[in-house]
């Protein structure tokens, strides 16, 4: 049974369709990246999974049932939705204490998560004075409070410095390695590319692709850039073998559809000297933008 | 119980509650002290007969109403409603805990008012040789004040839950209570006595006269108003989306 599942989820606000007949499932023991441009419907989907909004149609399920029916919610799901959702006049420690009290979580756990996110020193300051990065870490601490089986994090990397990013990646991987379910959204592939095992990509509220990161990485058109002494002759020969040929500037070709061995053998047979033979992987980011459409909305 | 503890903690971990109660009680101390100590004795005794001992109760009444509104609307204003309802996905348990916290803080403020008012007014008036009301009258007025603070806070919770926008809810609650209150006097018969501000007056034990509700009925009428608003507001929040 998938830990998190949306089935034909649709959410309309008046005439705007935020999420449009979306279905996907998230399994335990891995990090699932939830990708899409701003406004794609990521937050709406996550809020539906948390029972904070009711779908116009379809369902959002947690461990097979409605999130509203969760019996021990903070030990089931930990969520970090937005880094601004704190009372500015309350200290970080007291924010966590109110949440801990609601779920009967001991105070020692508050100190523990404060230590984990390295906020112990600032815990008595009012949130008003926190930087965006500190707020993100406080939101993460809140999510981790109940040692939940499932983590739902909405753009947790926003505002984190490079060290914070690395810390976050390690944390997410540890959580997944411990058998937990991690769903983490981002509008930037690069933020999740080093962490996610699985990718769910949406755009305009619709599913674009659900794939493993490995498949996504391997799926690019594999072109080989070639420079050689007799470029025209090589191109003609490769054309006979059915390769696709594109010019890459004056002195190089981009060859598709044949492997490096074939190119090398052909060159040897025809007495052509190879100057360069370089496999090109189209960057993940390029492929991501292709899928998501050219322009990235907002930001 | 956990949820109530959480709401109680929320109430006291920002400055708002402290500041509001501080201002209210300080204001009451000044008012009761100056009035009972300096106003002419005849004036004081006449006032005691008409409006009872609870001089200057109006300030804390307004503050209790506003505090009740804030208990709900602050969460929507700052987006903490999401984390609150994550801990209580059915929502109504957390909301009932909020209501309980609102009632409790009202009772607490009422008792603090009685302590300040009684601690200053009674010795000052009797020290100047004035006549104090009968102790049964004192008890009924003070009890009315304590109950009314709790009900005002609950009333504020109800308006806050319905309106959700903080400024809008404060304006709505105050307008409903204090600005529209003369309006029912224009209505035929005794319908006007069943409006919240009039019922509150009865609960406080003044405005004695023809066609005025007695104290207990006034309290029940105000309870009915608060209950209706609380029920509507709670239901609305349970049904609406928690947008942010």
Residue B74: list chain A partners with CB under 8 A. 87
Q: What is the overall mean pLDDT for chain B?
A: 89
For A13, residues 6+ apart whose C-beta sits below 8 A from its C-beta are none
| Span B177-234, pLDDT tens digits | 877 776 776 666 677 778 888 888 888 876 555 556 788 888 999 999 999 999 999 9
- Taken in order of first residue, the domains within chain A and their CATH numbers are 4-218 (3.40.50.300), 223-280 (3.30.70)
pLDDT exceeds 90 at position A241: no
Dump pLDDT digits (tens) for A55-96.
999 999 999 999 999 989 999 999 998 767 899 999 999 999
Put simply, whether A67 touches B (Cβ < 8 Å) is: yes
* pLDDT (0 to 100) of residue A283: 65
- Quick one: which of B172, B171, B216, B4 has its CA closest to B102? B4
pLDDT score, position B211? 57
A281 close to A222: Cβ distance less than 8 angstroms: yes
pLDDT of residue A214: 78
* Nearest chain B Cα distance for residue A149, angstroms: 14
Q: What is the distance between the alpha carbons of residues B21 and B149, in angstroms, rounded to a whole number?
A: 12
Phi and psi of A234, rounded to 5°? Answer: -60, -40
Q: What is the residue extent of each domain of chain B?
A: 2-32+57-120+136-239
Q: What is the pLDDT of residues A163-189, one digit of tens each?
A: 889 999 999 999 999 999 999 999 888
Q: Given CB atoms, is A77 within the 8 Å cutoff of chain B?
A: yes
Which of the four pLDDT bands, split at 50, 70 and 90, describes residue A196?
Answer: very high
Q: Which residue of B has its CA nearest to A87?
A: B78
pLDDT reported for residue A220: 61
A-proximal residues of B, 15-54, CB under 8 Å: 15-16
Q: Which of A68-72, B91-95, B119-123 has the highest mean pLDDT?
A: B91-95
Tell if the CB–CB gap between A79 and B10 is shorter than 8 Å: no
Q: Within 13 A of A270's CA, how many CA atoms are on the CB side?
A: 19
8 Å CB contact of A87 and B78: yes
- Does A224 score more than 50 pLDDT? yes
pLDDT in tens, B167-192: 999 999 999 887 777 677 666 667 77
> For residue A137, which of A108, A104, A161, A101 has the smallest C-alpha distance?
A161
B131 vs A144: which has the higher pLDDT? A144
pLDDT band at A219 (very low <50, low <70, confident <90, very high): low
Contact between residue B114 and residue B142 where contact means Cβ atoms under 8 Å apart: yes
pTM over cut 0.90: no
Q: DSSP string of A29-75?
A: TSEEEEE--TTSSHHHHHHHHTTSS--SEEEEEETTB-GGG-SSHHH
Smallest Cβ distance to A70: which of B2, B78, B89?
A: B89
Q: Which of A81, A91, A101 sits opposite B82 (nearest CB)?
A: A81
Query: CB–CB of B78 and A86 under 8 A?
Result: yes
């Amino acid at each position: 049974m998938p830990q998190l599942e949306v089935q034909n989820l649709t959410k309309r606000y008046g005439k705007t369709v935020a999420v449009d007949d979306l279905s996907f499932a998230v399994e335990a023991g891995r990090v699932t990246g939830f990708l899409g441009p701003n406004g794609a419907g990521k937050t709406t989907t996550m809020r539906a999974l948390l029972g904070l909004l009711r779908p116009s149609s379809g369902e959002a399920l947690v461990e097979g049932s409605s999130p509203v029916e969760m019996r021990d919610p903070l030990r089931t799901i930990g969520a970090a939705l937005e880094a601004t959702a704190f009372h500015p006049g309350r200290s970080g420690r007291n924010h966590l204490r109110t949440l801990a009290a609601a779920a009967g979580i001991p105070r020692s756990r508050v100190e523990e998560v404060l230590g984990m996110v390295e906020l112990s020193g600032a815990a008595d300051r009012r949130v008003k004075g926190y930087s965006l990065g500190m707020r993100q870490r406080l939101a993460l601490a809140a999510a981790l409070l109940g040692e939940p089986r499932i983590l739902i994090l909405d753009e947790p990397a926003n505002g984190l410095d490079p060290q914070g990013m690395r810390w976050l990646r390690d944390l997410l991987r540890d959580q997944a390695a411990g058998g937990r379910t991690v769903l983490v959204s981002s509008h930037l592939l690069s933020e999740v590319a080093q962490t996610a095992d699985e990718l769910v990509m949406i755009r305009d509220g619709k599913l674009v692709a659900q794939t493993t990161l490995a498949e996504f990485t391997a799926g690019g058109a594999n072109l080989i850039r070639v420079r050689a002494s007799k470029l025209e002759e090589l191109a003609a020969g490769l054309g006979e073998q059915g390769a696709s040929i594109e010019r890459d500037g004056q002195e190089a070709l981009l060859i598709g559809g044949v492997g490096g061995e074939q190119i090398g053998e052909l060159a040897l047979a025809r007495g052509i000297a190879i100057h360069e033979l370089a496999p090109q992987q189209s960057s993940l980011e390029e492929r991501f933008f292709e899928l998501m459409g050219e322009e990235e909305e907002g930001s | 119980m956990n949820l109530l503890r959480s709401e109680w903690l929320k109430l006291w971990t920002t400055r708002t509650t402290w500041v509001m109660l501080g201002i209210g009680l300080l204001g009451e101390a000044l008012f009761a002290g100056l009035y009972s100590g300096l106003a002419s004795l005849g004036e004081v005794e006449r006032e005691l007969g008409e409006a009872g001992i609870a001089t200057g109760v109006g300030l804390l009444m307004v503050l209790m109403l506003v505090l009740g509104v804030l208990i709900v609307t602050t969460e929507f204003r700052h987006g903490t409603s999401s984390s609150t309802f994550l801990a209580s996905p059915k929502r109504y348990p957390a909301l009932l805990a909020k209501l309980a916290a609102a009632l409790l803080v009202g009772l607490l403020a009422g008792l603090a008012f009685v302590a300040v008012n009684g601690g200053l007014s009674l010795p000052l008036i009797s020290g100047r040789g004035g006549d104090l009301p009968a102790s049964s009258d004192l008890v009924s007025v003070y009890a009315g004040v304590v109950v009314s603070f709790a009900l005002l806070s609950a009333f504020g919770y109800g308006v806050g839950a319905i309106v959700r926008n903080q400024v809008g809810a404060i304006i709505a609650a105050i307008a409903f209570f204090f600005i529209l209150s003369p309006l029912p006097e224009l209505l035929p018969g005794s319908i006007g006595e069943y409006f919240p501000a009039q019922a509150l007056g009865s609960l406080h034990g003044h405005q004695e006269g023809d066609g005025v509700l007695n104290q207990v009925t006034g309290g029940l009428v105000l309870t009915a108003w608060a209950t209706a608003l609380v029920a509507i507001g709670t239901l609305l929040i349970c049904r609406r989306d928690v947008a942010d």
